[in-house]
Amino acid sequence: MSSNNSNISEEKIAEYKEAFAIFDHDGNGSISVAELRHAMRSLGLQPTDSELRAIMAKVDDDGNGGIDFPEFVDLMRQVSHENPEQEMWDAFCKIDADKSGYIDRDELKQLMISLGQKMTEDQIDAMVEEVDTNGDGKISYSEFVSMMSGA
């Protein structure tokens, strides 16, 4: 993969940094195979060891056994160009545990816990309020898409 990240917006880079920090549990600046496995499982994916090795081989340009931030940005760019609409819908459905068609605060809280983020009730409420443009107290698919695309 190349490291040409010049055409990515600063906002998108900030989002990637936030995601990278969540996945990099030990904070060493690199996502290990174990951290990648945990991140993928928290998103409802069940990668095999061979799939994880294949991902690492494809992404780990410098061969150090981990994914550093520039490699992570390249991975995110590649993934976001494959089938973003389907991936967005799949992610929404995975988070919408009760299949109500909305993400409520409890589902958002469960997601953050599964990603290893300890958040207060006030922080969860603030996240919902920021995304919930129609004020109904839950996140619709269109609100989710707006949030994920930085609109």
Model pLDDT for residues 139-148, shown as the tens digit of each residue: 999 999 888 7
pTM for the model stands at 0.50
Give pLDDT, residue 103. 96
Q: Are 122 and 106 in contact (CB under 8 A)?
A: no
Q: Which CATH class is domain 10-80?
A: mainly alpha
Give pLDDT, residue 105. 94
For residues 133 and 82, give the distance between their C-alpha atoms in angstroms, rounded to a whole number.
28
Average pLDDT over residues 53-78: 87
Average pLDDT over residues 72-91: 74
Give pLDDT, residue 41. 77
- Partners of 31 in beta bridges: 67
Q: Where are the domains of the chain?
A: 10-80, 84-149
Residue 3 predicted with pLDDT over 50: no
Q: Which residue has the tokens 């981990």?
A: 66
Nearest one of 135, 73, 127, 126 to 95, comparing CA atoms:
127
Fold agreement between 10-80 and 84-149: yes
Give pLDDT, residue 47. 80
| Domain formed by 84-149, architecture | Orthogonal Bundle (1.10)
For the chain, what is the radius of gyration of the CA atoms?
A: 16
Nearest one of 81, 95, 85 to 139, comparing CA atoms:
95
Residues 28-43 have pLDDT tens digits of: 999 999 998 888 777 6
